[in-house]
Structure 1
Amino acid sequence: MAIINMYAKCTNSYVVGFICTILLLRSVAECREVNGVLENLEYPAISCRKHSASLIDFGGVGDGKTSNTKAFQYAIGNLSHYGSDGGALLVVPPGKWLTGSFNLTSHFTLFLHRDTIILASQDESEWPELSVLPSYGRGRDAPDGRFSSLIFGTNLTDVVVTGYNGTIDGQGSYWWDKFHKGELKLTRPYMIEIMFSDHIQISNLTLINSPSWFVHPIYSSDIIIQGLTIAAPTDSPNTDGIDPDVCFILYISVFNYYYTLTILVENSTTNYSFSFSLTDSCTNTRIEDCNIVSGDDCIAVKSGWDEYGIKFGMPSQHIVIRRLTCVSPDSAMIALGSEMSGGIQDVRAENLTAIDTESAVRIKTAVGRGGYVKDIFVKGMNLNNMKYVFWITGSYGSHADNDFDPKALPDISGINYRDVIADYCNYTAKLEGIPNDPFTGICISNMSITNSDMKKLQWNCTDVEGVSSNVSPVPCELLSQKEEKKFDCPFPDEKLPIESVMLKTCSFKSV
C-alpha cells in the first residue's frame, strides 16, 4: 500500500490497478524457517557460489539511519578473494540499509531478502565522481562529469544482483529537485550500472525512485535482466527503466585470454581500459517479465551520442525484449535512441503491454546522429489509452554540443510491427523521416486500433517508405497496402544464443 500511496498522482484506474496487480502477483521463491534458521534458500542464477556471508558480518547495521557504505565496500572487497575459488554471495538481510555508491566484483552475487530495503544515501560525499562516458562525450545533466551509480561495476565477469524481490530505493526526490532547480554540477547517479563486463544477471528485485536511469548495462555483453518491478512517479525526470547501451559481441575465436583496450577520447584526459574474454560464442541481452512505471521511457536502447558515439563506433545489437508491461504517460514503452550514433540492430520485442503511455515503440533520431536503427522486429502488442501507437521521429534534437556533423544522417530501415491491438488511442501514427534521407522498409501488419477521436488525422507520414497489410484504420499512402490476405511482417524464427541460456538452481544457508 505504501507504493500505491507514493504514486498518488497517478490517479487513473489503469495505473492503480496495474501497480496493485504487479505487487500482488509477484511470484518469488519461498524459504523454510525452522527455529529461527533459514535453510536451503534457493534462487535461480547464471552461476552458483561456493561461499556466502551476510552484510552483518562486516559491520552492517540495518536501521535505516546508519551509513553502510563502508560495510558494503569492506564486504565485497573481502569476498572478492573467493573469485578463483567458486565465487561468493553477499546476503543483505531484512532491514533498511542506508548506503552510498559501492562497487561489485567478479564471480559474485548480491542477494536481497524479501524484506530487505537498500536506501540510497542523499549525502553527495558518499557518491564518487566518475569521468564522462566515452560514447557520450559529456554528462547528460552537466557536461563535466557524473556521480557513480549506487551499485556500480566495471571490467567484471559473472555478476548476479538478485533476491526474493527485495527493494532498492534510490530516494530520488533529492536529485530530482536539484535537477529542476538547475543546481547539478555533475550528472545524477543511476541506480545500477555495469560497464565493460560480461555474463551479467539482474533479476527478481523491486527498484523504486532512482535519481535518474534505473538499470544501465553499457559496453557489455551476455546480459539477462528479468523479473524486475521498477517504479518512479510519472512526473520524475529521466527515470528510464532499463537502458541497454552499446551491448555488442566480439566475434574472435583464437584464444581464451583477456585483451585490454585503451580508448582515448578527444579533449578528455580519461583512459578507459576494459577486458573481454575472447571466445567464439558471445551473446547479448535478454530482458523479460518486467513491470515498469516510469517518468521516462520504460526501456530505451542506446548506442552513443552524436560525434562521440560515431567515433566510439560500437552498436547495440541482438537484444530480446519480451513480456513487458509499461506505464509512462509522457514517454515510450520501448525507445530506440535518441542516442543511437553507434548503431542499433536486431532488436526483437514480443508480448508487450502498455497502459496510459505516450507511444509504444518509438524511434528517436536527428540530423547529426549518424548511425543506424535497422532490423527491428516487434510482435504482439496490447495497448490501451495511448497518445500514439507508432511514432518515428527524425527531428529529435538534444545534441551533446554544437560540434556534431550536420552531414551525419541516420539510416533507419527494416522496421517491422505485427499483431497489434490498441484501444482508446489519440493518433495511430506519426512517421516523420528526414528530407533527402527517407526512412525505408517500414512494415505494419495485422493491426486493429480504436481511436478516441476519429476526426483527427490518424496517420501523419512524411519521408518514409514501406508496406502494410490488414491494418485499421487505413494507413497513409506511403505505406502501400499488400494485396495478399495472409501477409505478415517478418519476425525471426531462429533464436539468439542468449535465449537458450538456462539459469541454475542455486542455494545457500542463512541465519
Structure 2
Amino acid sequence: MLIQPSRRDLLRYGGLVGAGALLPATALAAADPWHRAADIARTVRAPVFPPRRFDITVFGAKGDGVTLNTTAIARAIETCAAAGGGRVLVPAGDFLTGAVHLKSNVELHLLAGATLRFSTDPAQYPMVFTRWEGVELINYSPLVYAYKAKNIAITGAGTLDGQGSPEHWWAWKGPWGGTAEHGWREGMPDQRKSRAVLFQMAEDRVPVEKRVFGDGHYLRPSFIQPYGCENVLIEGVRIRRSPFWNVHPVLCRNVILRGLDIMGHGPNNDGTDPESVDMMLIEDCIFDTGDDCIAVNSGRNEDGRRLGVPSQNILIRNCRMKQGHGGITVGSQISGGARWVFAEKCRLDSPDLWYAIRFKNNALRGGLLENFHYRDIHVGQVGRAAIACDFNYEEGAKGRFTPILRHITIERLRATRATRVLDSQGLPGAPVTDIALKDCSFDGVTEPSILRHTERVALSNVRVNGKPVQALDQLQPF
C-alpha cells in the first residue's frame, strides 16, 4: 500500500516543530544555557501504554528464522491499536519479517533472546512517503516505519537485524571509501544516477508525490524512521546491520533514544540522524558505525529550505561513540538550520573515529546553525581533529546560500590522542564565528590546527600536550 502525504500535510509540516516550540527564554537560561538543557530533560517524557499484551505468536508468527512473519506482526499491531493501544510482544526466537509499520499507542517490545530479522527482498518494503538524505520522496518503506503516529515505542532486550551486508543492500551505495567491504564492483548497478535525479527534482520543486523511486533506483531504506510523529521512545534494543541510516526521526517532537546498542560498519550506517526534530533526549547509547555516530540534520538544499524546519532542543548525554566519521555531528543535510544542541558526559574513542565534534555545511545548503554547548567530553583517540567545522563539505563554495555557524562552547573536553585540536574552515564572506574552548586539554597532538575564515575563537585554560596556550597560533604540537 502506498502511504503518502496529502497536499495539506505537505504544507503544514513546517508548523509541527516550528520556531514557536522553543522553550521560554528566562533570565536564568540566558545566564546559563545549561538551564535549557535541564528543561529538555524535564520536559521530554516517555509515552505510557495501557497494560494490554498482544503476543505475535498468537497471530501466527513463528520464530524459526524461515517463516515470513510480516502479516502476523501487522495483525498484532492493528489489533493492539484498535483495542486502544498496548504492547505488541516479540518473544524469544528468530522472526523473519518485511516492513513493520507502527501505529499510535503501540509499543513493540522484544524480549531477551528475540530477534526481528528483516528480509533482504526489496519487495517486502512497500512504497511510502519518506525522506532520503534530506529530500522527500516516495521510496521503499524503512524497515520499521511510523507516519503521523502518537505514542509509539520500540523497547526491550532483543535485537533488530537489518541484514545489511556486501551481498544485500550495501552494494547499492556504489563506490565508497569505508572501512568495511561493501560488495560493489565496477559494472554493478548503484544509487548514483537516481540520487542525482532525486536531488535535481528537489531543486526544481517537483511535487513530492511525483518523486517516485523504488525498484531499479537503488536508494536504500533507512532502518527505523518515525515520520511526523509525537512522543517516541526507542529503548534498550540492539540494532545491527542497517541497509542505510539506523535511527532516523523526521519532523518529530518529543523523542527519546535510551540505552541503544547500535552497530553497523556499512556505507552510511549513521547511528542516528535526528532531522527537523524538536525536543529530543539521546542518552546511555553506544554507537559503532560506518559513518557519523550522531548527525543532526534538517533537510538538504532546496527541500530543506522549502520546509524550513530546524532541529532544536536536543540533549545528548552519557553516550559512547566508537568507530565513525564524526562522533557528535551537525550536518550536512542542514538547510533548515539547527540550534540549541547540548552534549555532556560522553566518551569518544577509536582510531577509526575521524572527529569527536563535527559540523558540516556548504554554500549549497546554507542554514543557520547556532548555540551548541558541549561539556565533560572524554576523547580517547580520534584519527583527525578533536573539533572540526567544515564549510567545504562536498560541494563547498559552489552555491549561492550563506552557511552560518556560530556560538559553540566546549568545556572540559579531555583528549588523550588527537592529531589536531581544531580544524575550522569557513568560506570567504561566511566565516565560522564565536568558538569558546574552556578548561580543555589536548594530548597526543602532532599537527597544527587549521583555521581559515574563522573569527572570534576564545581560549580559556586550554592545554596542548601538557602546556598552556593563550593564543590561536599556539594550537599546535610542542
Fold match (TM-score > 0.5): yes
Paired residue for 2:203? none
TM-aligned CA deviation for residue 81 of structure 1: 0.7
Describe the superposition over 1:309-350 as per-residue Cα deviations: whole angstroms up to 9, x where unpaired: 011100000000000101125x01111000110010000100
1:343 matches 2:337: yes
| Number of residue pairs the alignment of both structures matches | 384
The answer (yes or no) to whether the contact 2:293–2:326 under 8 Å persists in 1 is yes
Matches within 5 A, 1:21-170: 46-83=47-84, 87-131=85-129, 133=131, 136-137=134-135, 145-163=138-156, 165-170=157-162
TM-aligned CA deviation for residue 304 of structure 1: 0.6
Distance 1:244 1:364 in 2: 15
Paired residue for 1:183? 190
Unpaired runs of 5+ residues, structure 2, are 1-44, 175-183, 192-216
Matches within 5 A, 1:460-471: 460-465=450-455, 466-471=457-462
Paired residue for 2:429? 436
Alignment match of 2:304 (pick from 306, 309, 312): 309
- Report the 3-state secondary structure (helix = DSSP H, G, I; strand = E; otherwise coil) of the residue aligned with 1:217: coil
Paired residue for 2:201? none
TM-aligned CA deviation for residue 424 of structure 1: 1.9
Q: Whose helix fraction is larger, Structure 1's or Structure 2's? A: 2
The answer (yes or no) to whether the contact 2:460–2:470 under 8 Å persists in 1 is no
Distance 1:137 1:149 in 2: 15
Distance 1:222 1:433 in 2: 33
Unpaired runs of 5+ residues, structure 1, are 1-43, 140-144, 249-283, 482-511
Q: Report % sequence identity.
A: 29
The answer (yes or no) to whether the contact 2:172–2:219 under 8 Å persists in 1 is no
The answer (yes or no) to whether the contact 1:380–1:420 under 8 Å persists in 2 is yes
Output the TM-score relative to the length of structure 1: 0.72
Paired residue for 1:40? none
Alignment match of 1:228 (pick from 260, 277, 280): 260
**Cα separation, partners in 2 of 1:475 and 1:463, compared to 1, 3 Å:** farther
1:324 matches 2:354: no
**Cα separation, partners in 2 of 1:218 and 1:476, compared to 1, 3 Å:** farther
Distance 1:359 1:54 in 2: 43
Paired residue for 2:21? none
One-letter amino acid of the counterpart of residue 233, structure 2: Q
**Cα separation, partners in 2 of 1:328 and 1:304, compared to 1, 3 Å:** same
Paired residue for 2:248? 216
Alignment match of 1:375 (pick from 358, 365, 371): 371
- Report the 3-state secondary structure (helix = DSSP H, G, I; strand = E; otherwise coil) of the residue aligned with 2:77: helix
Q: Whose strand fraction is larger, Structure 1's or Structure 2's? A: 1
The answer (yes or no) to whether the contact 1:468–1:480 under 8 Å persists in 2 is no
One-letter amino acid of the counterpart of residue 242, structure 2: S
Distance 1:198 1:225 in 2: 13
Distance 1:312 1:437 in 2: 23
Distance 1:352 1:412 in 2: 23
Between 1:197-206 and 1:424-433, the stretch displaced more is: 424-433
The answer (yes or no) to whether the contact 1:366–1:396 under 8 Å persists in 2 is yes
- Report the 3-state secondary structure (helix = DSSP H, G, I; strand = E; otherwise coil) of the residue aligned with 1:397: coil
1:411 matches 2:404: yes
Paired residue for 1:193? 225
Output the TM-score relative to the length of structure 2: 0.77
Paired residue for 1:240? 270
Distance 1:210 1:389 in 2: 27
Paired residue for 1:394? 391
The answer (yes or no) to whether the contact 1:467–1:480 under 8 Å persists in 2 is no
